[in-house]
């Protein structure tokens, strides 16, 4: 058993960005902090996110930024007001990671990697005395309310003054976010909204020939339009089971909800969004009629072979060769979406602990002294820096909430931090 007498002991369950953010706040307040992470290393999903360039946050205005969280905006806005995108940049710079803003408004560390930032972060926490315990799994509470934690040395019970749960959602289980905590909290009388994939791909009914030839092929510079008229320009990719990519992820919440309501959804792919139908018609008409469809699209529009195959899929057979009709199809290739891709393949999840189960400081109403943060909470946001910012902001909010609760519950025993 671990007990601290001279200062409050706070357990952080989960060593991802939300948990480490809470640990940073509480250690700065003078608390004894233990972070229990079930995986062999801390921040594994953060490292995965940084493989293509770590997108820390976004430079949008505060109002637009908060709107990215949809129905969860009121609580998320409170967290963001305490830890804003500007605060995120200053925090990274304080760890020796200078940042820059890309042309899309996304903000990155100049190193473009998560590993240097994570190493510096963990070193700072260790320097403050934070106990960083890997291969330690939370197993609930014992009959006396102590935390049960199993580690390399066996199962132990911790008597703590407060707890912050930051166990992640239910995507990318191999990185530690299994969602196994859901049943444990439900058994404690805490409302948890069912998980749903967010920022995900979708299943389609590709023909076998198309799937075999083009799975893994990118669709660059396309525009994707949902049936409600919402359009996003960006990248997509053909997969073995369907379609995914940035432009699809941006619409995934609306697509997912439409499938849930109606049993299916349809998107329209514009293969050349920079050209209108008239321009495309003129360019196609200049190509000799005896050319194959692939050659026609390559010569007229610089489209790759996957585009001709997509037109066949969308048309359900040979596409029209009349220039105007073909141009209209190029601008609006229909793709039927049958279901979201598997939850574990999603970048993030919707669902989680219901906001009604939490107080304003992210404490679980049914479990005084227990706080929750990060993807455990019922919010979702698009990629582009909004996910990491949300995790960090709620982690810090839970840390501040735990400190406030400790001070109130101990009647001022713990002085304010300097």
Q: What angle do CA 24, 25, 27 make, to 5 degrees?
A: 65
List of E strands, 227-347: 231-238, 242-244, 265-270, 333-337, 339-340
Integer Cα distance of 130 and 264 in angstroms: 49
With both helix axes pointing from N to C terminus, report the angle between 386-409 and 73-82 in degrees, rounded to the nearest 10: 80
* Complete edge-to-edge strand list for the sheet that includes strand 147-151: 137-141, 147-151, 154-158
Residues 6+ apart with CB under 8 A from 226: 251, 254, 255, 258, 265, 267
Integer Cα distance of 199 and 262 in angstroms: 20
For residue 411, what are the CA distances in angstroms to 125, 151, 167, 406?
28, 34, 30, 8
Integer Cα distance of 310 and 328 in angstroms: 14
Q: Give DSSP secondary structure letters for 66-102.
A: HHTTGGGHHHHHHHHHHS-HHHHHHHHHHTT--EEE-
Is 44:176 a contact under the CB 8 Å cutoff?
yes
For residue 356, what are the CA distances in angstroms to 196, 238, 366, 373, 378?
19, 39, 11, 14, 10
Q: What are phi and psi of 200, to 5 degrees?
A: -125, 165
In the chain, domain spans: 9-195+350-409, 202-340
* DSSP-derived pairing of the beta strands 137-141 and 32-37: unpaired
* Beta-ladder partners of 192: 353
Q: Which helix (DSSP H) or strand (DSSP E) does residue 13 occupy?
A: strand 9-13
Look at residue 173 in the predicted model and tell me its pLDDT.
86
Instruction: Give per-residue pLDDT as tens, 220-236.
Output: 999 999 988 999 999 99
Cα atoms found within 13 Å of the Cα of residue 61, Cβ hemisphere only: 2
Is 19:35 a contact under the CB 8 Å cutoff?
yes
* DSSP-derived pairing of the beta strands 370-372 and 162-165: parallel
Cα atoms found within 13 Å of the Cα of residue 104, Cβ hemisphere only: 12
3-state secondary structure 232-244: EEEEEEECCCEEE
Phi-psi region of 245 (alpha: psi -120 to 50; beta: other; left: phi over 0): left
For residue 295, what are the CA distances in angstroms to 260, 300, 348?
40, 8, 40
Integer Cα distance of 343 and 173 in angstroms: 10
Architecture of domain 9-195+350-409: 3-Layer(bba) Sandwich (3.50)
> Could you tell me which of 207, 341, 337 has the C-alpha nearest to residue 267?
337
* Beta-ladder partners of 214: none
Going residue by residue through the chain, which has 418 residues, state the pLDDT in tens, using 9 for 90 and above: 344 446 899 999 999 999 999 999 999 999 999 999 999 999 999 998 878 789 999 999 999 999 999 999 999 999 999 999 999 999 999 999 999 999 999 999 999 999 999 999 999 999 999 999 999 999 999 999 899 999 999 999 999 999 999 999 998 888 888 999 999 999 999 999 999 999 999 999 999 999 999 999 999 999 999 988 999 999 999 999 999 999 999 999 999 999 999 999 999 999 999 999 999 999 999 999 899 999 999 999 999 999 999 999 999 999 999 999 999 999 999 999 999 999 988 999 999 999 999 999 999 999 999 999 999 999 999 999 999 999 999 999 999 999 999 998 753 443 333 2
Integer Cα distance of 226 and 251 in angstroms: 8
Instruction: Give per-residue pLDDT as tens, 89-104.
Output: 999 999 999 999 999 9
Residues 6+ apart with CB under 8 A from 312: 210, 318, 319
Tokens for 260, please give them. Answer: 């849930």
């Amino acid at each position: 058993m671990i007990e601290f007498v001279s200062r409050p002991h706070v357990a952080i369950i989960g060593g991802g960005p939300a948990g480490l953010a809470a640990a940073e706040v509480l250690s700065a307040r003078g608390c004894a902090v233990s972070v229990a992470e079930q995986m062999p290393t801390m921040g594994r999903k953060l490292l995965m996110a940084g493989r293509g360039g770590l997108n820390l946050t976004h430079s949008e205005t505060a109002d637009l930024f908060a709107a990215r969280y949809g129905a969860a905006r009121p609580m998320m806005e409170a967290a963001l007001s305490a830890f804003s995108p500007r605060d995120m940049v200053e925090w990274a710079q304080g760890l020796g990671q200078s940042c820059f803003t890309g042309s899309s408004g996304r903000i990155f560390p100049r190193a473009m990697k998560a590993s240097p930032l994570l190493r510096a972060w963990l070193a700072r926490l260790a320097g403050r005395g934070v106990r960083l315990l890997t291969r330690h799994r939370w197993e609930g509470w014992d009959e006396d309310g102590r935390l049960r934690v199993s580690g390399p040395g066996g199962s132990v019970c911790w008597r703590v003054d407060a707890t912050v749960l930051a166990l992640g959602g239910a995507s990318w289980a191999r990185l530690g976010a299994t969602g196994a905590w859901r049943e444990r909290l439900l058994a404690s009388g805490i409302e948890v909204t069912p998980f749903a994939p967010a920022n995900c791909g979708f299943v389609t009914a590709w023909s076998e020939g198309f799937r075999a030839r083009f799975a893994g092929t990118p669709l660059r510079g396309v525009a994707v339009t949902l049936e409600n008229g919402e359009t996003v320009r960006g990248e997509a990719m053909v997969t073995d089971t369907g379609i995914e990519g940035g432009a699809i992820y941006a619409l995934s919440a609306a697509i997912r909800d439409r499938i849930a309501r109606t049993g299916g959804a349809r998107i329209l792919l514009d293969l050349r969004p920079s050209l209108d139908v008239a321009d495309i018609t003129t360019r196609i008409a200049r190509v000799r009629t005896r050319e194959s469809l692939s050659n026609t699209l390559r010569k007229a529009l610089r489209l790759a072979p996957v585009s001709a195959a997509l037109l066949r899929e969308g048309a359900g057979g040979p596409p029209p060769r009349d220039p105007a009709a073909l141009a209209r199809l190029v601008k609006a290739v229909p793709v039927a979406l049958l279901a979201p891709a598997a939850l574990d393949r999603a970048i993030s999840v919707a669902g989680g602990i219901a906001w009604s189960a939490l107080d304003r400081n992210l404490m679980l109403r049914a479990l005084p002294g227990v706080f929750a943060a990060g993807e455990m909470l019922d919010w979702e946001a698009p990629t582009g820096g909004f996910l990491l910012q949300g995790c960090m902001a709620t982690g810090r909010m839970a840390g501040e909430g735990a400190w406030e609760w400790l001070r109130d519950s101990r009647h001022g025993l713990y002085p304010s931090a300097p």
